[in-house]
Amino acid sequence: MMFGASKPTLRAVESDRGQGRAFAQGSWYSREEAIMGTAIRVELWSNDRTAGEAAIDAVMQEMHRIDRTMSPHKADSELSIINREAAQHAVPLSTEMARLIARAIDFSELSEGAFDITYAGVGQLYDYRLGIKPSDEELARARATVGYRHLVLDREERTLLFAREGMRIDLGGFAKGHAVDNSVAILKRHGIANATVAAGGDSHVMGERGGRPWSIGIRDPRRPGEVVAVLPLEDVSISTSGDYERFFEQDGVRCHHLIDPKTGKSPNGVRSVTILADDGLTTEGLSKCVFVMGLERGMRLIESQPGVDAVVVDASGVLHYSSGLLSGASQPRQ
């Protein structure tokens, strides 16, 4: 089943929107904050205002904690310490960081290097606001620092060593999905059954919305405000990676923030990838894998993963579904 083009960043199409609007024995409460360089939004149903706001507070605190730990822009974050010191000696890792880096390496192996947190050695050379990209010479030098096989992770001792000078890692393709996973666990501990948590293009929907499934719209990569499909979803994580999030164009070529680790350049085979699975680490990691791998290789990877589905908008704007969604996808709204 294929439809025409549309722009994937996830947008909940809600009935009865609005913070605190009453239904039966409770109300919906929502809040949005700017954390981790993106919009963090929580919306939940609670029978008690104090309890609902306490749950939202707990989620926002967790988002701030992860930002303090994993931001490449904060000099005292665990990630920044790793990048400063791991080429000189094995750096001790927190249990959380060791787990994330281990999962990142697993995704690198699964995708044959399409996912690689060491891409940061190249990624740092781009400035999307100023429209700056590296020269061929700069790119060649930086590519020598890229390669997940140069990460020496001791999973038992929880240490990380860079095998090459100049290496850097970036968890930007991973941390928000992890933050959403943690937030869902927090909401469940607070007794919340119906909610959504969104961190930029990474979301999770819990339960239902107003007695119906949550409606998640996949937006058009080239026409803001348009959607290509609407998916009714419950209890699932969703991640979208698109070439429209941070980009500039030079000589008719779009340079965007999704980098192919092998070339150091932006792949142009697809415009966006949306992944659905049980957890946000899986959806965010696989959305990056498929974007870099392209439609055919990427879809083969998705079809090999139990419980995972994908929606891909290709370079021509055509929509493609994995087999698990073919019978349930809905036509875009006119």
Identify the residue whose tokens are 């966006």: 272
Domain annotation covers residue 96: yes
Q: At what angle do helices 78-85 and 95-110 cross, to 10 degrees?
A: 70
Copy the structure tokens of residue 178. 């992890």
User: Which CATH number does the domain housing residue 137 bear?
Assistant: 1.10.3980.10
Residue 234 belongs to what domain range? 1-12+212-334
Rounded to whole angstroms, how far apart are CA atoms 308 and 283? 8
Copy the structure tokens of residue 110. 């699964």
- Candidates 197, 210, 227, 191; CA nearest to 319 is 227
**Residue 321 and residue 226 in one domain:** yes
Residues pairing with 45 in the sheet: 28
**Residue 193 and residue 53 in one domain:** yes
pLDDT tens sequence across 167-224: 999 998 889 999 999 999 999 999 999 999 999 999 999 999 989 999 999 989 999 9
Cβ(315)–Cβ(271) below 8 Å: yes
The reported pLDDT for the residue numbered 219 is 87
**Residue 333 and residue 223 in one domain:** yes
**Residue 22 and residue 139 in one domain:** no
Q: Is 49 left (phi over 0), alpha (psi -120 to 50) or beta?
A: alpha
The reported pLDDT for the residue numbered 11 is 31
The reported pLDDT for the residue numbered 200 is 92
**Residue 39 and residue 6 in one domain:** no
**Residue 333 and residue 218 in one domain:** yes
**Residue 63 and residue 179 in one domain:** yes
**Residue 177 and residue 287 in one domain:** no
Domain annotation covers residue 167: no
Boundary (domain end) residue, out of 135, 162, 189: 162
**Residue 133 and residue 31 in one domain:** no
**Residue 242 and residue 205 in one domain:** no
The reported pLDDT for the residue numbered 326 is 82
Rounded to whole angstroms, how far apart are CA atoms 99 and 204? 21
The reported pLDDT for the residue numbered 327 is 61
**Residue 225 and residue 330 in one domain:** yes
Which amino acid would we find at residue 207?
Answer: G
pTM of the model: 0.89
How many H helices and E strands in the chain? 8, 17
Low-confidence ranges of the chain (pLDDT < 50): 1-23, 329-334
Number of domains in the chain: 3
Domain annotation covers residue 121: yes
**Residue 107 and residue 131 in one domain:** yes
Rounded to whole angstroms, how far apart are CA atoms 214 and 194? 10
User: Which CATH number does the domain housing residue 186 bear?
Assistant: 3.10.520.10
Residues pairing with 34 in the sheet: 39
CB atoms under 10 Å from CB of 198, counted, come to 24
Rounded to whole angstroms, how far apart are CA atoms 157 and 153? 9
